[in-house]
Amino acid sequence: MEARNGENDAVETVTARAPVTIERPVPTELKFDRPYMARALEAVDSEHPSGTVGYDNKGYSVLQQHVAFFDRNGDGVVYPSETYAGFRVLGFNPVTSFISAFAINAALSYTTLKGWFPNPLLPVYIDRIHKSKHGSDTGVYDTEGRFVPAKFEEIWTKYAKTRPDKMNKDDLSEMQKSLRVAFDPFGWLANKVEWNIAFTLGKDEEGFISKEVVRGIYDGSYFESVEKSRTNKKNKTLPE
């Protein structure tokens, strides 16, 4: 419906003169408290208004929680060897893990350093990981690394075309294209790589990644659940 001048214009979310607003609707009724407010500690959505119950956020922001999984020794710094180890426990093969570890640390390290000179060891400092936020992303993390529930809900109303709480590869591809900001090739590439990794890790047997899995990737809780599941399966196969 095209918005008309009048008292309802202020709450219209679509207009026929901008068809993309109809193709990509935004959520209009979110039944939890203050969905517009960015959360520092919890990844909140309609189904989880209190975040991930039982998950230890360690006082980290949600973005920091996402990265902290790869801090295997818990010292607040992630080196390529730790990123590699994190990918391995998530089930990625050695080649993919090695390439990912080098690429991720090379891309993120410099902006998290205190000084101007790069560190050849490519450390990523978790306390300054917000400085590595790139363009052409979903906006679910704000510039300080908080989690914005309304932005997270937008992903599903805009791009989940087959099922309301799941996306397939075509949905993700459409989302990646639509998020591109002009003259931002690094952001385009980073967004594509991040979501392709997430999809590879979290897709189900039908070729979909669910809203709950994606939320768990944002706060890192899904990483922990995958590691725990793989460890339990491995222990069950060991001879007693």
Q: What is the pLDDT of residues 189-232, one digit of tens each?
A: 999 999 999 999 999 999 999 999 999 999 999 999 999 999 99
**Cα–Cα distance for residue pair 102/95, rounded to 1 Å:** 11
Contact yes or no for 89/229 (Cβ under 8 A): no
User: Is 223 inside a domain boundary?
Assistant: yes
pLDDT at res. 149: 98
pLDDT band, residue 10 (cuts 50/70/90): confident
Q: What is the pLDDT of residues 61-88, one digit of tens each?
A: 999 999 999 999 999 999 999 999 999 9
Q: Is the pLDDT of residue 5 over 70?
A: no
Orientation of helix 185-202 relative to helix 169-178, angle to 10°: 160
Contact yes or no for 43/62 (Cβ under 8 A): yes
Structurally, the chain folds into a number of domains equal to 1
pLDDT at res. 6: 58
**Cα–Cα distance for residue pair 84/89, rounded to 1 Å:** 9
User: Is 13 inside a domain boundary?
Assistant: no
pLDDT band, residue 3 (cuts 50/70/90): very low
Q: Looking at residues 21-37, what average pLDDT do you find?
A: 93
Question: What are the start-end ranges of the E strands in 25-120?
Answer: 77-78
The whole domain housing 210 covers: 31-228
Q: Is the pLDDT of residue 1 over 80?
A: no
User: Is 12 inside a domain boundary?
Assistant: no
User: Is 5 inside a domain boundary?
Assistant: no
Q: Which amino acid is at 113?
A: L
**What are 84's two structure tokens?**
């590699």
Orientation of helix 221-237 relative to helix 80-89, angle to 10°: 60
**What are 178's two structure tokens?**
């639509």
User: Is 20 inside a domain boundary?
Assistant: no
Q: The whole model's pTM is what?
A: 0.93
Name residues whose C-beta falls within 8 Å of residue 141's C-beta, 6 or more positions apart in sequence. 62, 63, 130, 133, 147, 148, 218
Question: What letter does residue 163 receive in the DSSP assignment?
Answer: B
Q: Is the pLDDT of residue 28 over 60?
A: yes
